[in-house]
Amino acid sequence: MILTVTLNAALDVTYQVPEIDWTGVNRVRSVHRRAGGKGVNVARVLHGLGREVLVTGLAGGPVGRAIEADLEAAGLPRALVPIAAESRTTLAVAGGGGGAALFNEPGPEVSEAELREFGRVYASLLERAEAVVISGSLPRGVPAGTYAELAALAAEHGVPAIVDADGAALRHAPVGRPAIVKPNAEELARAVPPHGHPVEGAEHLRARGAESVVVSLGEEGLYAVTPEGTFRARMPYRVEGNPTGAGDSLVAGLALGLVEGAAWPERLRTAAALGAAAVAAPVAGDFDRDVYARTHPLIEIT
């Protein structure tokens, strides 16, 4: 199975609001609540593609129970480690013209003992994993080097890790020698010294230990800097919709290619098409199957 790690799991609330008035009352057209956090979204997409997945991470309080209940309802196998503090809620306000504003709470305070317990559970789950995806923000109390440690532990078990992180967690991640690090262009720019081109930034992360680096560029596609060379994927057209979760869908495609041993061009085509298909779906964690099938063959890889 593919293991996904979401230390800062969330209850994702999505409001559809035709037009936002920042000084007045906004009437919400529809409300959608579901378990989220980046690793949960990755697992949803992989599950939708028929892959065996297991969701792990931390969950606490009534919001944690709502997350568990939603994963159960979605048929997603889980092994969440309980914590005393309450898990967070995130709010995405999606406007009529596409795009969405995100309001992400920082998340619960996690104790050292809880993190140690997570490490124990994680090590035992690695025994059954073909690959692990570690993604999203860190809740409070979790050191910035944690993703690097989780990736290193996976490598000790012979399990390739994909890390999708931002800030200090991204800067530390390469030390754990992950198979793939996946920042977007802004996250990369924040994490490495000033560089002229995303490929140079990616090379910096590779020099620090990451085997491959995939830089997502939204509707511009992606760059992948790998031991087999540097690739660029270009999208054939612009897909309208809610980009929240598109990066997670792209990561699901990378994980799929990794476990299937697909060649990089094919891996990137799948990843880029899944990212586009997620934009066409209204809620993070979903993807539009028609858009996926239509876009996949049209993605240009150079």
Binding site for ligand F1X (CB under 6 A): 8, 10, 12, 36-38, 41, 90, 102, 104, 136-137, 244-245, 247-248, 284
- Tell me how far apart the 2 most distant CA atoms of the chain are, in Å: 55
- Active-site annotation holds for 290: no
Of 37 and 160, nearer to ligand F1X (C-beta) is 37
Of 18 and 167, nearer to ligand F1X (C-beta) is 167
Min dist CB 134 to ligand F1X, Å, is 11
Of 25 and 31, nearer to ligand F1X (C-beta) is 31
Nearest by Cα to 246 from 92, 75, 117, 140: 92
For residue 260, count other CB atoms closer than 10 A to its CB. 12
User: Which residues sit opposite 6 in a β-bridge?
Assistant: 57
**Per-position DSSP letters for 91-129, written without gaps between them:** EEEEETTS-EEEEE----B--HHHHHHHHHHHHHHHTT-
Of 138 and 258, nearer to ligand F1X (C-beta) is 138
Of 218 and 265, nearer to ligand F1X (C-beta) is 218
Min dist CB 278 to ligand F1X, Å, is 9
Min dist CB 263 to ligand F1X, Å, is 27
Half-sphere exposure (Cβ direction) of 218: Cα atoms closer than 13 Å: 10
Min dist CB 279 to ligand F1X, Å, is 12
**Per-position DSSP letters for 215-281, written without gaps between them:** EE-GGG-EEEEETTEEEEEE-SSPPPS--TTHHHHHHHHHHHHHHHT--HHHHHHHHHHHHHHHHTS
Length of the chain in residues, anyone?
A: 302
C-beta separation of 250 from 182 below 8 A:
yes
Of 107 and 160, nearer to ligand F1X (C-beta) is 107
Task: Tell me how far apart the alpha carbons of residues 166 and 234 are, in angstroms, rounded to a whole number.
Answer: 24
C-beta separation of 93 from 103 below 8 A:
yes
C-beta separation of 207 from 225 below 8 A:
no
Min dist CB 216 to ligand F1X, Å, is 11
Residue nearest to ligand F1X (CB): 136
Min dist CB 166 to ligand F1X, Å, is 6
Catalytic residue among 12, 248, 286, 288: 248
Structure tokens at 147: 């993703």
Task: Tell me how far apart the alpha carbons of residues 257 and 226 are, in angstroms, rounded to a whole number.
Answer: 14
Q: Which residues are annotated as catalytic?
A: 248
